[in-house]
Amino acid sequence: MRNGASNFVPPWPTGTVTGVGSLPLTGAAEAVDFVREVTPEMPFWPQLPRRAPHEGMFRQFLGAGSETLEARDQLLGYAVRAGEGGHLRTWLERGTAELNPLHAGGFFAFMEALAENGFPDAVAIKGQLTGPLIMSAMIFEDDRSAIHDDAFLELTANYLARHAAWQVEQLLESGRPVSVWIDDPGAGHLGGAPQTSVDQERYARALGIVVRAIHDAGGSAGLHCCARPRFNLLRRVPFDVLSFDAANGLEGFFSEPDATALLDRGCTLALGLLHTSPDEDATPQAIAARWSEVAGDRASTAAERALVTTSCGLATTDPARLVEVFAATRAVGQELRDGV
């Protein structure tokens, strides 16, 4: 088992493009065909929240366990149904931690394509799952977020660890390297709430449980955080790839010693350098120039083997713009590749 990113050698070239996960499409086969077209080197299985409500990031990974929850009235998150708290905990402890076709049509269409060698140019395969911090934070019992319950947070982390290991094992059937990313806004400045040192330790332990499960199953582990990451927390977690919204957060990353320390330990970046909304000034050349200016003397080493993604919010993008967004992202990736 690895002890962090320092022993990880990315199998992809600099500037390789992949996706965070969600696409604004409703057809699973259509989505897989699109992934094949726009991310041939590192395809990802598409999450399709527009396809059905149960394909959202919480129900998708809770599976049958989501039946114990109901949406909170005019509030974010989910409330545990009356009398269902014990059933939810039992599910997290013993339930089947696997995706199913009802909740993840894109995953199973993707697996069919993999079995048919539908991604001949792939150098690695990417998967993703919801993280333990955001999942716990968005579940409420008696109007109290479950993230404050140590036992519940640990149950959630171990459940998602089983889920992550299963996903790695499935994707490894392709015969290619696999990277599974934990999608966890809870690793960032979620709501601006302060975190005590005790919170930091609890959160790092929960994330570490999932990361180590990915490593033990034979994959590399990524962490995607669409909120501004808490880099002092992330330094404690042995993931290999950090995916963040660099379109807005690039300057913040290179100004924080805790962030650049991730580079020093060998962490690979996945840079969401391109906004999903139209921006005439954000040409690939301008984005690459901004990268060079902000990263300074770290630009070349930090870009080496770096991935490029769109920024968050792709699930709400007009589907008509998808090809344009990914074409621009690939152009940014090529600029980075040419500059190394």
Is residue 176 a part of any domain in this protein? Answer: yes
CB atoms under 10 Å from CB of 113, counted, come to 19
Range 194-222 average pLDDT = 92
Could you tell me which residue, 178 or 230, shows the higher pLDDT?
A: 178
**Which residue range forms the structural domain that includes residue 242?**
28-339
CB atoms under 10 Å from CB of 228, counted, come to 18
Is residue 43 a part of any domain in this protein? Answer: yes
Instruction: List beta partners, residue 243.
Output: 224, 270
Is residue 18 a part of any domain in this protein? Answer: no
224 Cβ contact list (under 8 Å, min separation 6): 20, 21, 128, 181, 182, 183, 184, 243, 244, 270
Q: Where are the alpha helices (DSSP H) in 180-321?
A: 197-217, 231-234, 246-255, 257-264, 284-295, 299-303
Nearest 10 degrees: Cα torsion 280, 284, 288, 291:
50
Is residue 10 a part of any domain in this protein? Answer: no
Amino acid at 217: A
Range 182-186 average pLDDT = 93
Is residue 181 a part of any domain in this protein? Answer: yes
DSSP H or E segment with residue 276: none
Q: pLDDT digit string (tens) for 274-304? A: 877 766 667 889 999 999 999 999 998 899 8
Q: What pLDDT does 1 receive?
A: 44
Question: How far apart, in Å, are the Cα atoms of 132 and each of 129, 139, 210, 229, 338?
Answer: 9, 11, 8, 15, 37
| d(C-alpha 214, C-alpha 62), whole Å | 18
| Number of independent structural domains in the chain | 1
Q: Which residue has the tokens 């999450």?
A: 47
Instruction: Report the CATH number at residue 40.
Output: 3.20.20.210
Confidence of residue 4 (pLDDT cuts 50, 70, 90): low
| Confidence check: pLDDT of 5 > 80 | no
Range 60-88 average pLDDT = 94
Pick from 2-11, 18-27, 206-215, 271-280 the range whose average pLDDT is largest. Answer: 206-215
| Confidence check: pLDDT of 176 > 50 | yes
Is residue 11 a part of any domain in this protein? Answer: no
Task: Flag the least confident range among 16-20, 50-54, 192-196.
Answer: 192-196
Is residue 263 a part of any domain in this protein? Answer: yes
Is residue 47 a part of any domain in this protein? Answer: yes
| Confidence check: pLDDT of 194 > 70 | no
